């Protein structure tokens, strides 16, 4: 697969149900490459030294991207169990793609994966739209 080309997508950082989040300002077509998750590449022992950093994105068994800089706007995308985006890795780089049509004002989300959610999301409870609606039904 060739390296993705980002679409001309308008988004904004706003308060969401789970801290800050990234929201579409205009409709986004399914399949559009929205944003790249960027940061310093950590290798081997450097990864262990950053344990506890919530902005690490694992790109291989030995490499991670430290996306904690505020200039990495993709760091504001929250996790959801029924997301509208997906993160894909291309030669160690991470790109976020819309996996369904997204309406203006909708929050952008992707599934962080089991390892991350078990460690950082589940202990405090997932606040994605799907889990929040399940809680409302139970109440």
Contacts with ligand SAM by CB under 6 A lie at 18-21, 54-55, 75-76, 78-80, 120-121, 126-128
If the CB atoms of residues 42 and 96 are measured against Zn ion, the closer one turns out to be 96
Q: How far is the CB of 130 from Zn ion (least distance, A)?
A: 5
Query: Rounded to whole angstroms, how far apart are CA atoms 118 and 139?
Result: 24
Q: Which residue is nearest to ligand SAM (CB)?
A: 19
Residue 76's binding partner out of ligand SAM, Zn ion, none, with CB under 5 to 8 Å set by partner kind:
ligand SAM
CA distances to 26, 42, 50, 65, 99 from 92, in Å: 29, 11, 18, 9, 21
Q: In this chain, which stretch among 9-17, 55-63, 65-73, 121-129 interacts with Zn ion, using CB under 5 A?
A: 121-129
Q: Is 131 in the site for Zn ion (CB under 5 A)?
A: yes
If the CB atoms of residues 32 and 107 are measured against ligand SAM, the closer one turns out to be 107
Query: Rounded to whole angstroms, how far apart are CA atoms 108 and 95?
Result: 13
Query: Rounded to whole angstroms, how far apart are CA atoms 42 and 102?
Result: 32
What is the DSSP secondary-structure string of 100-112?
A: S-B-TTPBPEE--
If the CB atoms of residues 74 and 80 are measured against Zn ion, the closer one turns out to be 80
Query: Rounded to whole angstroms, how far apart are CA atoms 22 and 17?
Result: 11
Q: In this chain, which stretch among 15-23, 32-40, 88-96, 120-128 interacts with Zn ion, using CB under 5 A?
A: 120-128
Query: Rounded to whole angstroms, how far apart are CA atoms 139 and 40?
Result: 43
If the CB atoms of residues 50 and 127 are measured against ligand SAM, the closer one turns out to be 127
């Amino acid at each position: 697969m060739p390296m993705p080309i980002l679409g001309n997508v308008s988004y904004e950082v706003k308060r969401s149900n789970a801290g800050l989040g990234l929201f579409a300002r205009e409709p986004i077509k399914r399949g559009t490459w929205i944003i790249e998750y960027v940061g310093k590449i950590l290798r081997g022992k450097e990864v262990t030294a950053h344990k506890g950093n919530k902005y690490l994105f694992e790109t291989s068994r030995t490499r991670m991207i430290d996306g904690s800089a505020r200039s990495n706007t993709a760091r504001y995308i929250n996790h959801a169990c029924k997301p509208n985006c997906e993160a894909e890795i291309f030669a160690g780089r991470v790109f976020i793609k819309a996996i369904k049509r997204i309406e203006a004002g909708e929050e952008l989300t992707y599934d962080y994966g089991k390892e991350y959610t078990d460690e950082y999301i589940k202990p405090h409870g997932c606040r994605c739209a799907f889990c929040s609606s399940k809680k409302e039904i139970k109440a």
